[in-house]
Homo-oligomer: A and B are copies of this chain.
Amino acid sequence: MTFESRPSGRAVDQLRALRLTRHYTKHAEGSVLIECGDTKVICTASIEEKVPGFLKGKGQGWMTAEYGMLPRSTHSRMDREAAKGKQSGRTQEIQRLIGRSLRAAFDLQAFGERTLHLDCDVIQADGGTRTASITGAMVAAYDAFSKLVERGLLPAVPVRHFVAAISVGVYQGMPVLDLDYVEDSACDTDMNVIMTEAGHFVEVQGTAEGAAFDRAAMNRLLDLAEGGIRDLIALQKQALGLAG
């Protein structure tokens, strides 16, 4: 199949409209609704005043993530994982990825024996829920740490560098940025890229669902991702009222 245009009419290097709503719910220390086009994820950051057993007494903190989808966030209803009594392999893979990405963004040594729990719950899915979760959780975590600063418990938000995440893929032979569900279902290669504001990689996960891809395609995909992530991080900072 030859590429003519994207189903959404977007340019190949165009992100979907992004909206970050802070303080979305009232109980969590950080709470962000992230909307990437029709993909909507509630990201909350909750602070717990202790660390898991393997870190007790080491004077450092921990960050961990959980991910879920509401049963009817998807086209056809999925079984509820709580009712089935177990999380799928996909869910576990995603929450491990979110956790690693966020731990790379903050300095675990700098916020004491505390755990930051990141909960990313998809209320509407249209492709890219794992990358939206990371991009949104970055902002929620920043807000939660700001609370600790406000309360005089930390001197500063212990951020090492901002991170954001985006998917790229080869759709009808054409590398494109920020796949929506229609593109995702049809594309041969799908890559999730998590990157810092300096353009360094935190995670790269590329999968050839159809034809394997060569180094040239990979380079083009990484270029697209780099551009997208630069924009996402600018939007995160703007939402937080930080100078870009």
**Which residues does A use to contact B, with CB under 8 Å?**
25-28, 31, 38, 40, 42, 44, 46, 48, 66, 68, 70-77, 80-83, 85-87, 89-93, 95-96, 100, 104, 117, 119, 121, 123-125, 161, 191, 195-196, 198-209, 211-215, 218, 222
A109 to B107, CA, bound (A): 47
- Return chain B residues, CB-CB under 8 Å to A87: 82-83
Q: Is the CB of A204 within 8 A of B222?
A: no
- Return chain B residues, CB-CB under 8 Å to A91: 82
**Within the oligomer, what is the number of copies of this chain?**
6
A191 shortest CB reach to chain B, Å: 8
A209 to B26, CA, bound (A): 28
Can you sample 13 A-B contacts with CB below 8 Å? A28-B72, A44-B70, A44-B72, A46-B71, A68-B80, A71-B119, A80-B119, A82-B86, A85-B86, A199-B215, A200-B211, A200-B214, A201-B212
| A73 and B27 in contact, given A82-B82, A119-B80, A212-B196 (Cβ under 8 angstroms) | yes
Q: Is the CB of B89 within 8 A of A93?
A: yes
Q: Is the CB of B212 within 8 A of A74?
A: no
A32 shortest CB reach to chain B, Å: 12
Q: Is the CB of A25 within 8 A of B218?
A: no
A71 — nearest CB in chain B belongs to which residue? Answer: B119
A213 — nearest CB in chain B belongs to which residue? Answer: B201
Q: Is the CB of A42 within 8 A of B85?
A: no
A203 — nearest CB in chain B belongs to which residue? Answer: B207
Q: Is the CB of B25 within 8 A of A73?
A: yes
Q: Is the CB of A207 within 8 A of B100?
A: yes
A47 shortest CB reach to chain B, Å: 9
